[in-house]
Amino acid sequence: MARTLDLFEAADGREAHAVLADEGSAERLANPGRAIDDTSLGLDADGWRRLADGVTRAAELARDRGFAPSFHSHAGSYVEAPWEIERLLEMTDVGLVLDTGHLALGGGDPKQALADWRSRIDHVHVKDVRTEVLRGVIADRADMPEAWRRGIFCELGTGDVDLPSFFAALDESEYSGWLVIEQDWVPGPEDDVTVAAEAQARNRRWLAEHIG
């Protein structure tokens, strides 16, 4: 963490956020999207205490160095399902990255999350999700790498996240922080990386045309 903050300072990145995340485990990577219904996949009481302590210490280090800390709930980690995000917010005071794709994969609704956690949200990641792929991943007990390979995250407007409604709510909430456009595409050995660059260009055009 300290070495990363050194890089921020060297680049004069005063507006950078120190984005934190849980590393998860092999078990969680093997069970994406299932923690919302199976709480046995979650941390025990000692695990939550360790996680909260680590996040608190990392957040304090970031603030002491002049950087705002935010926590990114993430597929394949121990902070994926809405109930896990709630637990983290209860046990820490760190800001929250609202990632529309990872939240939807974890069983949450981005617009509802905005309503519930607006006071903690200080960073937004935008992506779309194919729910049919998610259902297949859960039914097949496929792991997170396989979910990426199946294209669970897709170009904006081609999936099932209600992004126009989410952005309307975001605008009403007077959010003015970072907005990161993501697709989480994992290329295969033979894939041309220009495909991802072209997809990002289309993502930005979609935002301009539909969101403004």
**Could you report the per-residue pLDDT of 175-202, keeping only the tens digit for each?**
998 899 887 777 778 888 888 889 999 9
Of the candidate ranges 9-13, 32-36, 132-136, 160-164, the one whose mean pLDDT is the lowest: 9-13
Q: How high is the pLDDT of residue 108?
A: 96
Domains, the chain, ordered by start:
2-210 (3.20.20.150)
Evaluate if residue 153 carries a pLDDT over 80: yes
Whose CA is closest to 91, among 54, 36, 40? 54
Look up the pTM and report it. 0.93
Contact 24, 77 (CB under 8 A): yes
Residue 48: predicted pLDDT:
98
Give the integer Cα–Cα distance in Å for 140 and 154: 20
- In angstroms and rounded to an integer, the radius of gyration of the C-alpha atoms of the chain is 17
Lowest mean pLDDT among 11-15, 18-22, 82-86: 11-15
Confidence of residue 38 (pLDDT cuts 50, 70, 90): very high
